[in-house]
Structure 1
């Protein structure tokens, strides 16, 4: 993964179609300014693009405002309305599913991300043949306690667990190669873990992070706070499991089973020696601890075996594999074999 400055403006693009995916929740005051800002930023964009705005169950008139903009701007503005608030990750996944472009850019709809950064991120993605280019808000215009502290804690935890050296995983402004992004399914609070999930289907060397602009919110209310750090910790456990043990869950549960069972065995062995020496052990809490540790170890081992059976069934279906290859140039059948001359 590399971090580079994006002071330059893109001069030309490889041919592609661009889909911009934006989740919105109760942002009625930002709808018209945001759609206008995107059109101004992409006024001279040389390739086809579409704007997909996912209304995540808003109740403040966001739906009506989006429909109005779609009528005014044309069919390339595509609002999607979810029937209730499914939260940002689900809304982002809905937009990704609907995207038709070869390149997908995601950003927030509160105008804190600057749409003018979109061409530069796409330029970096395509010219350097990357799968992900993430924005880095070096000069954040947020409240220190409510936004910056939770973000710093979350980013530090994510870097420590995943090993990815991104400075700002919480920035929604990112550009993706669509065929790679669509191999990943998002749920929970996983939108902030997208680089980690993408590391399961592509190399971290094909990811980059670049500085982008960031603006203070001028309308609407922030939906973030300290509580999201707790949700990040819970989702981080799932990320760690899938990154390290998705193809070998028996090692995860088996390791815990062996550890817990060993502790129980040592405790019971110690108590057995005391019993042979004539001491009473029937009323000791340590006896119960040893018993339940052995029982828990056996349960972990059994769970590991069942998990291995499930993962074998999953891979034996034939439509998935425990690995991913990079793109290689196609060859004809006649050219794909070595022949003696």
Structure 2
């Protein structure tokens, strides 16, 4: 149970800062999270709200969050019907955030809430995204830090947005930036890269990182595969999301051109040189290239149609809400 305190029961006016916290089975961390967030945010002397997204927790996390919402009107709680993942949690928080700035932070307290002041001050200098960098990360090397270092290098190379630590959840965003981004899969870690098409200004600052004291980690090395696959998606979205024919069509034309040239060569030696073609592997290769080329051109056309539907249609959320507390 959480101690009763004299706290505001309702939020007055639009807050300056919205803090989004996805939560999944963190009953041990929640009381400490509340205390440390309150201390750090009260020091800012700016109106704020905390959007706690219960991602289908199976422990007492939601019951603790309900108590917090009853005690403190600045805490707004969204409860999912099941576990939809961290990306869905961020998406739900972004959609409901009312602040000019949006802060994301993990519930496990490995991120230090006191670093919010530093990141926000940097953002107020004119940056749209300020990302935390766990320079002295307190996690095992082989199964956490090493894969993360490799992934960060690969993501920076592929997207052109160079950050030391894409996986750090402690970030500050201008609200107008994140509200324009559709999230799914594991794309929450790529937000700075996805937002780059808006021409955003991105900064990165070293932040504190603490060893986990409460609960158990929900992430393992198995997530690396999903991250790599989502990176391919992000790379495509950054370059060709509105013009898929240019990538599929270009490869399709290349294959069709090579296949057509080979078929013309084979037709010449058959018609004018009388050479048999039945035992030539080159004939199969030529036919295969033409077929692949036509298929890729078709995929490009379908991609154009899907793109049109995506931008003209209404998107469904990637989560299902069970109940909400203090949500106006």
TM-score range, shorter chain: 0.7 to 0.9
2:109 corresponding residue in structure 1: 111
Report Cα offsets for 1:100-158 as digits up to 9, x if no partner.
111100011100000000111111111x1211111011000001112112211211111
**2:132–2:170 contact (8 Å) kept in structure 1:** yes
1:198 aligns with 2:195: yes
2:213 corresponding residue in structure 1: 218
TM-score, L = length of structure 2: 0.85
1:263 corresponding residue in structure 2: 258
SS at structure 2 position matched to 1:81: strand
Measure, in 2, the Cα distance between the counterparts of 1:232 and 1:104. Answer: 24
Task: Provide the aligned length of Structure 1 versus Structure 2.
Answer: 300
2:139 corresponding residue in structure 1: 142
SS at structure 2 position matched to 1:258: helix
Measure, in 2, the Cα distance between the counterparts of 1:287 and 1:38. Answer: 69
Q: Displacement of 1:246 after TM fit?
A: 2.2
**1:257–1:296 contact (8 Å) kept in structure 2:** yes
Q: Displacement of 1:288 after TM fit?
A: 3.0
Q: Displacement of 1:265 after TM fit?
A: 2.4
**2:131–2:203 contact (8 Å) kept in structure 1:** yes
SS at structure 2 position matched to 1:21: strand
Measure, in 1, the Cα distance between the counterparts of 2:283 and 2:35. Answer: 70
Q: Displacement of 1:310 after TM fit?
A: 5.6
**1:103–1:177 contact (8 Å) kept in structure 2:** yes
TM-score, L = length of structure 1: 0.82
Measure, in 1, the Cα distance between the counterparts of 2:122 and 2:154. Answer: 27
**1:180–1:202 contact (8 Å) kept in structure 2:** no
Q: Displacement of 1:201 after TM fit?
A: 1.6
SS at structure 2 position matched to 1:29: coil
Unaligned runs of 5+ in 2: 1-13, 315-328
Q: Displacement of 1:215 after TM fit?
A: 0.4
Unaligned runs of 5+ in 1: 1-14, 320-341
SS at structure 2 position matched to 1:105: strand
1:43 aligns with 2:42: yes
